[in-house]
Every structure is written in structure tokens, then in C-alpha cells.
Amino acid sequence: MENYFPEELIETVKDRNDIVEVISQYVPLKSTGMSSKGLCPFHNEKTPSFTVSKDKQFYKCFGCGEGGDVIGFIMKIENMDFIEAVKMLAQRGNIPIDESTTSEEMKKKLERQKVYFDINREAGKYFYEHLVQRKNPALNYLIKRGLTTRTIKSFGLGYAINSWDDLLNYLIQKGYKIETIEQCGLIIKNKEKNNYYNRFRNRIMFPIFDVKGNVIGFGGRVFDDSLPKYLNSPETAYFNKSQTLYGLNIASKHSRTGRVILVEGYTDVIALHQEGFKNTVATLGTSFTKGHAILLKKYFNEVIICFDGDSAGSKATLRSIEILENVHISIRVLILPNNIDPDDFIKKYGEKAFEAKIEEALSAIDYKIYLAQKQHPSGSTEDQIKLGKKIANIIREIDSPIEQEAYIKKIEEKTGISKNAIISEIYGKKTTTDKGNNTKYSSNYKRNNKYIQAVPLVEQNGHIIAGKQLIKYMLTNPPGISNILEKVEINDFILESHRIIFQYILEKHQNFDDINKIMEHFPELHEEIKDIININIQQVDIDQAIDKYKKDVKRYKLLFARNKLKEEQQDIIKKENLDKEEVEKQLLKLGVEMMNINIELQKLQSEERREQN
């Protein structure tokens, strides 16, 4: 019986299995920018012609012609069929497959999806024909806005005429059921609930595509003063505004630079696209979400935000920066003069002027400083004080001391606020905890494990729980003790009580047969041992638990080292007997050490993210 997988599952399998990482397990690859090269595994060759594209998630051999996505590669290299390849990659990505779902149920689901896409495609064609086949106010409006016929066709723009039922009747004539047309969001029931009418009337129509080019919804814009100005399709099983970006179907195919321009509206995307900036996307009249950020991260490595320069645009930019920072993607902000929007700017000044603005785009930190200066533009004492405090708060959030130093110097030159004043504002009020948080630290450990003092108690708790799980595993699975002893050392445990128990197991494990003996041997640890015995380890993969445990230990030690360097920085700044040159020399030395620690922490974080994905 033929098996069917939902498209959502297939997309998740692809997302969780980066094609470069998968193919690297079979073929040694050498990175060359956004692509990687190696010798083709499907034919004999001496010169590498096998290319793997990270941004497109596609492989191609220019020698033998083989090519495809990650599923296709596994099918070819492992001699598997499609179902077997999907299952293998799902297992690799820790993705559960519901085997209880019958093929008939999945077939029906796929058929419903196809009908949905077909209806929207037919509606898009209908709107397009109405726009281009005869003169009408919608086409006049678009031509006055400077759009070419080629651009109109590229985006499939259309015109919903001022009719209550023309689209409804057209789709019924095509054989589609009225209930299905309603599910697509194209028609609405009247108040009496006995008839339907078109959702979109007398509007310019913008088909909304998914990244594969399927029409999943529409946006309609008036060309007069009617309200609402924009009207979108309702959310459906296949259309989620917080997971969809307008123009991504085009932008994803033009990501050679790894850069995407994020704007606010349909017309901005279309205007920039027409002038050659095909790597432009926009949200669908909604706030930027984490779903949008994850989507951009999948196809690009840098986002250039280009929102309106008014107060609302600035707030939206700051919110977007915060969301994008959480998915670890490079961010810059493009500022246009006089609060002009991208559509108007590109028409007035042209492609080269906009390209120049892209090159001048600010980093996220520079943008925050720019806003602070904009809010306090005067040279008055009051404004200078407020500006200095805001800038200090911004710089305080920078992890890299070298980057901090660079910004401090830059601010001193631009604002006239002295470097020492900024440093004092940043560090003078800071506690010994990381970034000034009033985090409590545990003090239940001996001095020879003092690095733990730098780690917040909330982070230690997870490590302590993992330690208990490891000890319980040893106490309840004596045959597995040797495996753990090969990978874990006594100094890997935080609590002294856990060290004592571990040392006992280390010495007695070959003859270890009764948990009660350890209770008798350490009566003072009776409650601790009882707590360990009661902890749940049923779902614990012991090898994964050990690996995670070791990574946590390394991270805590790095955090402690970074904390000590920050304390040394503060001590140097407070010393009065050192000249300026000596202070800067010592701070630079500490800064380099801190940068190396931050790099190690980032490596750990990246490694953990890869494992989670």
C-alpha cells in the first residue's frame, strides 16, 4: 500500500536535517562561501564538481548531473525509497512519525490541500485577467505608481471588480463546492446565513505565495479613500500570517549574498524588486514574529531592516531586532532620509542611491545609539546627561569588551562625553554578577570548586538534577557503572555530597550490590541519597545525559572565568595610580581574553543548537 506523509512533516524533516551536515557524513566537503564542494559519490572523479548549497538546501554534481534535496540524496546514497529516506532523516532529527495514521487519511488530507491551492490559483488567474485585459481604475493606479507590466505579471497582481458574486459564480462554474470556496476565505456568508458574497470587491489584489509558489491567500488594497485600506484573507489551515512573508518565494531564490531586506508592505517589496532588489520581503500587515525570524534564518544570514522612520516604525524596528537577536542572525538597520518609505525613495533616487544606503546601514547597537541621540539632540546639560545614561545602558548589553571599548571611544568622539564618565556609568554601579542582574548564587560548595559561584542558581539546578540522574543510574544499574566512570570525573560534580557518593561508587562498584549499604555508610547523607533514589530517569538517554553534563561543566567554568575577568576590569578602572595608557593596555589584554571566552561559549551554544535541531 502506498504511504503518504503530510507536507508539514516533510518540510520539518528537511528543516531538521541541514543538507551540508548530512552530506558531510558521506562526502568530505570544503566550504567555499555559501556553498561547499567535494568529490561526487555517484561517479569517479579527481576534480571536485559536486556542490552543496547551504542557502538553497540543494546538491548538484556538474559532472554526472545528479542533484536534489536532502531526501533525494539519502534515497540515492543509501539506495532507499522515498518513505525509507524520510523515516531515516526523521529519526536523525528526532522527529516522531505517527505510524497509526493510515495512508487513506493522509491521501485525503493531501487532496484537500491540493484543492485549496487550486481554488486560490484559479482566483488569482481570474483577478489577473480582470486587471490586464481591459482599462480599469486598478490598472491606472498601478501604472501611475510606476509599475511595469513585467512586474505586475511577476507578482501576479490582479483586480477584484466591484461585484458581490462574480468570483463566487466563476469558481462554482469551475466545479468547486461552495463550502470549499468559503474555507479558502474568498467568500463570506451574509447576515441571514442563507447566501454568500465575495470577500474582496473593488480592490487591487496581491496574491500571497508560500515559498514553493503556491497561492495561499490574498491581500486586497483600495485605490481610493475607502476603508479598510488593506484587507487580507483570513487565516486557514494553510495560511498563517505569523509564519508567512510576502515575497519570500522570490527572495529565497535570490539569496546568493545571504542578505535579505525586510520592509513593511507589499508596495515596498514590489518597488524594490522592480529596481533589482529581489531579496526583499515584508510581513502581512502584522507585527514581526519569532516565526518570521526563524523563516528568514532558514534562507539568509543577514537581515537589513528598512521600516518607516516615524515613531511607530522605530518601535517596530526595535521589536524586530530583539526577536532576530534571539535566533542569532546578523542584523543591520537601513535609515532613509525624512521618514520617506522605500517605495518613494527608490522611485525618487534610484537603484544606486538605495544600494549606497544599504552599505551605510547601521548595526543594531549603532541604531539604538542613533535613536538615543535623536531623542536628545540638544547640547544642553540635561540632554547630555540623559544621552550618556542611555548610551551606557546600550553599551552595557554588549558582551564583547573589545566591542564595548570601540563604542566607548566612538561615543566620546561624537558626543564629547568623556570615556571615563561612560566607563564609570557602565561599570560603577554593576554588581559582581553577570550584566548587573541581582542573581543569587549558591554557596554550598567547597572552595576547590569555586567556579560554580559565578553561575546563577537557576542554571545550577539543571546541572544538579543531571548529577542526581547520573548517580541514580549507577546505583540502580551496576553493569553500566563502568561506562560512566570512563566519561565522568569526580570534579564534574557540583555538590560535595555527590562527590562523596561518586567516590564511594568508584571504589566499590565492582562489588556494589545493595543501595542500603551506602545509606548505612553515610548516615549524614541519608536524605540526599533518598532524594537521588526518588528522581525520575525513565526517559534519560544516559550517553546523551553524560555529553550534556560535560558541556554544562565546561560552560560553567567559562562563565566563572569571564566573571573574574570582569571583576579585574573593574579593579583596573578604579585604580588611581595607573596612567591612561597603562589602563588601556591592561583593559585590552583582559578584553582579548574575554573575547576568547565568549567565542568558546558561542561554540558550545551553536553545538547545542545543532544537537537540538
Instruction: Using DSSP, state whether 106 is helix, strand or coil.
Output: helix
The string of DSSP letters for 395-436 reads HHT---HHHHHHHHHHHHHHH---HHHHHHHHHTT--SSGGG
Residue 134 is predicted with a pLDDT of 84
First-residue to last-residue Cα distance in the chain: 31
Q: Which helix (H) or strand (E) holds 55?
A: none
Q: Return d(Cα 439, Cα 430) in angstroms, integer.
A: 12
Cα gap 346→388, rounded to integer Å = 36
Residue 492 is predicted with a pLDDT of: 72
Cα(455)–Cα(565) distance, rounded to whole angstroms? 14
Between 499 and 292, residue with greater pLDDT: 292
Quick one: pLDDT band at residue 4, thresholds 50, 70, 90?
A: low
Q: Report the pLDDT value the prediction gives residue 585, as an integer from 0 to 100.
A: 74
pLDDT tens digits for 5-35? 777 788 889 988 999 989 998 889 988 777 8
Distance CA 146, CA 376 (A): 39
Q: Can you read off the three cell numbers belonging to residue 480?
A: 553500566
Alpha carbon of 367 to those of 258, 318, 334: distances in Å?
21, 9, 9
pLDDT of residue 491: 72
Going by C-alpha positions, the residue among 601, 559, 566 that lies closest to residue 587 is: 566
The pLDDT value recorded for residue 137 is: 93
- At residue 111, the pLDDT reads 85
**Other CB atoms within 10 A of residue 292 CB:** 27
Q: How remote is the C-alpha of 211 from its chain's centroid?
A: 17
Select from 221, 186, 229, 217 the least CA-distant residue to 203: 221
Angle ∠(355,361,364) on CA atoms, nearest 5:
155
Interatomic CA distance for residues 310 and 338, integer angstroms: 9
pTM: 0.59
* Residue predicted with more confidence, 326 or 381: 326
pLDDT at 3: 53
Residues 6+ apart with CB under 8 A from 249: 209, 210, 211, 212, 213
Produce one character per residue of 34-65: b if its CB has 16 or more CB atoms within 10 Å, e if not.
ebbbbbbeeeeeeebbbbbbbbbbbbbbebee
> Do the beta carbons of residue 388 and residue 370 sit within 8 Å?
no
The one-letter amino acid at 99: E
Per DSSP, the three-state class of 35 is strand
| pLDDT, tens digit (0-9, with 9 covering 90-100), for 430-479 | 333 333 333 332 333 333 344 444 444 444 455 677 778 778 878 877 77
Q: Per-residue pLDDT averaged across 595-610, rounded?
A: 76
Which amino acid is located at 257 in the chain? T
Number of other residues whose CB lies within 10 A of the CB of residue 91: 12
Determine the pLDDT at residue 569. 79
pLDDT per residue as tens digits for the range 104-163: 776 787 788 899 999 999 999 999 999 998 889 999 999 999 999 999 999 999 999 999
What cell was used for 243? 509564519
Q: What percent of the chain has pLDDT over 90?
A: 37
Would the pLDDT of 546 be above 50? Answer: yes
Asked if 86 contacts 5 with a C-beta cutoff of 8 angstroms, the reply is yes
Quote the CA–CA distance of 200 and 182 in Å, as a whole number.
13
Nearest to 18 by CA among 55, 72, 62, 61: 55
Instruction: Decide if pLDDT at 96 tops 90.
Output: no
Contact between residue 47 and residue 58 where contact means Cβ atoms under 8 Å apart = no
Q: Write the CB contacts of 259 (distance below 8 Å, at least 6 apart in sequence).
A: 279, 300, 301, 302, 303, 304
The 10s digit of each residue's pLDDT in 152-209 is 999 999 999 999 999 999 999 999 999 999 999 999 999 888 899 999 999 999 999 9
Beta carbons within 8 Å of 477's beta carbon, 6+ residues apart: none
Contacts of 247 (CB under 8 A, 6+ apart): 269, 273, 280, 281, 282
Using CA atoms, how far apart are residues 56 and 13, in angstroms rounded to an integer? 15
Q: Is the pLDDT higher at 58 or at 101?
A: 58
How far is 134 from 131, CA to CA, in rounded Å? 7
Confidence class for position 510, pLDDT limits 50, 70, 90? low
Q: Which of 365-374, 381-390, 436-445, 524-533 has the lowest mean pLDDT?
A: 436-445
Cis status of the peptide bond prior to 523, with omega within 30 of 0:
no
What digits encode the pLDDT tens for the residues 267-298? 999 999 999 999 999 999 888 999 999 889 88
| Cα torsion through 471, 477, 483, 484, rounded to 10 | 0
CA 447 – CA 151 distance, rounded (Å): 69
Say what the pLDDT of residue 436 is: 37
Query: Does 549 have pLDDT greater than 70?
Result: no
Q: Which of 445, 455, 438, 435 is nearest to 552 (CA)?
A: 455
Q: Which amino acid is at 371?
A: L
Cα separation, 329 vs 163, in Å, equals: 46
Give the integer Cα–Cα distance in Å for 2 and 197.
40
pLDDT value of position 447: 34
- Position 428 confidence tier, pLDDT thresholds 50, 70, 90: low
Task: Please determine, for residue 538, whether its predicted confidence score (pLDDT) is greater than 70.
Answer: no
Ranked by mean pLDDT, which of 153-167, 387-401, 438-452, 567-581 comes out on top? 153-167
The pLDDT assigned to 449 comes to: 42
What's phi and psi for 339, nearest 5 deg?
60, 25
C-alpha cell at 321: 531586532
